Structure 1
Amino acid sequence: MSPPPLPRSPAWDKQPPKQAAFVAAAEQTNAIICSHLDIPGPLERLDNNSTGITGFYRSAASKQHPALFIKVVEKKRAGPLLAADPFASFVAKQGVPTPCLIAHYSKDIEKGFFALTYPYFEARFAKPQTSDLTNLGMMAGRLHQALASCPWQQKVQENSEQRQALLFNTLQRIDDSDTAIHQDVIETLRHGSLDYPNSHWPAQIIHGDLNYGNVLFPIQTPDQPLILDFEDTPLSWHSPLVDIAFIIERFILIHSDHEDLAYGLASSLIDSYKQQFSSPLPPIAEGSLFKTLQSLSVRALCLLSALSLKHISSPASEWDKFLFLYYQTQKCERLISKIETLLID
């Protein structure tokens, strides 16, 4: 199993994503995709303002195949997605609901483009309610137990060390003369830490990208959330606290203006997570959650900087997101400390 290319641009929006809306795909697009995958049309395309053939499609169920979700990417982007599927397949066999690649419908569709096809589910994003965070905590616990038994531990550890080396090399190359990198980013990188703290929670393979768009709640079975997108997993050898911090950042701190709501959601998440284990979680060092959240933002900014040094531009909104997250952590330090006690108790 070869590692995906390094680096990969991180992505997260400060607001929860809008529910997907599909529109009829163009006639020419239908003809290209359907003929190569040997499926009947018509296809519907996710309405996300993308141009060209790349994008997300769905195909209704037929006598020959189930409902399909089709992701069309440039062929050079297919490698990391294909490398992610063994992890999805492994955890699915361990009982973690995960849509896995359907090999028969995943292939080249036109010069330079590749289609990756998965089962399609009618689903929604998480809501700020106790039941969703309880179910997410349950699934995160099951996911971590499955990934801990995954057979590629050593390879993922090596990949993660490569990523860490890339980030530190990037940090050493940045100076005040890098006009492509905003001064606020440079200052954040200098004062922040790329290293996650030693939380005393042993490292293992984790998901690495449990953001809002990668957890879906099926309409028919909302108590069994689907875990999507294992693209970062082959690079993610860290304490499970990193995934937990990621969830807290994406699903809970966005409600920090309503502290009682945020704390209640965190309590539901963490209590449910802990119940998945037969023995207590390792005690984490005080301050580990805050430091982990800070490092998430610093590492994301450093990764964007690595892309910039390779002359690969990222939208200004990407830089703004992670600066926002870094300062949001500082703003919410008291709430984060309160949430951390749920992990320690």
Structure 2
Amino acid sequence: MTDEVRALEVGRGREPERSCARELKTGFNWSGHARILLLTFAVSAVALVLIVAALNPYGNLPWSFTGSHVVMDDNQRFQYPALVREKDYDSVVVGTSTSRLLDPELLDAQFGGRFLNLALNDGRAWEQSQFMHLVQSEGAKLHTLIVGLDVVWCDQRADERRITKRGFPDWMYDANPWNDFPFMLNGKAVEIAGRKLAYHLGLTEARISSRGFEVFVPPDASYDAEKAKRKIWGNRGHRRTAASKPYVASDEERKGWDFPALKWLDADLGALAAQRVILVFMPVHIAAQPRLGSDVAAVETECKSRIAGLARRHDAYLIDFRRHSQLTTRDENYWDNLHYRLPIAGQIIDSLGEALKTGGAAADGTWHVLAQPAGK
């Protein structure tokens, strides 16, 4: 380009081609910024990994820099294995949410020992069995084992319905803690690690106590009887009548009923070293129980009978609160059709103590002892 043409282009407000090329050369440095972003990401990822490793949010890694495990999440399946491995107990409760209100301190006073409550929200029979297997594999010699029984143990498809949508961390229940860490490189572990850090800084409290106990129902002072009644009965009306013609199963039909979970329970009771085993059908409201005289009730009765036989083989108690009684027919005892109020939990513990001492049945029919150790 001649000087005359260049001058003419500038005069017309145009930049010379060479100037455009020079400007492109001195423009945004994409590769430099990409390197900075990658480096920032790498440093952040390493920092998060170190935080998770140091704070050990599930208490399952083979080191601890913050002392005893603190439960900072309400998915007990991921949090309770650490409590089992700390071995600060000699007695255990296993069950579903219908056993979660059994206070370890009240159980200590009633039965002696030091209880750990391992009951799970919506706990399936297989999950509960995994907890019993973990207790056994840790070499615990139990003073008392209480298994809070619910319909999940009599589920004829229990082997198909082993876990819930909450998931179950099989990797956390084996004997090798070193294989756990890859499963923890996720946002949930970072979130719980952050909560744990806040706990150690005094900014928040533990979600669940170190003995596995939590009052998960609302404060009893806020109890609303009408609201509870709606939750208990829904649109089914406020009555529970027996079938007009009771269903009677044949011997052949009963023999054909299979309860897969009872095989797990049998194996667990045979493997666990426990001085005293108490199996308890928990007192759900009659709205959650089968209709008397129905085919479903017949299946449940057969399941109870088989568990009674299993209990006798293992010198265990079987106490049945899952029956129509003044406890389970009173709406005012419940928040919904599964969960009783906190004062009822204390009554259940007292009743268990009475059942072990007296055998037989409660005077008011609240509980029946279906099996007990030989010689009792």
* TM-score, scaled to structure 1: 0.27
* TM-score, scaled to structure 2: 0.26
Bigger-Rg structure (1/2): 2
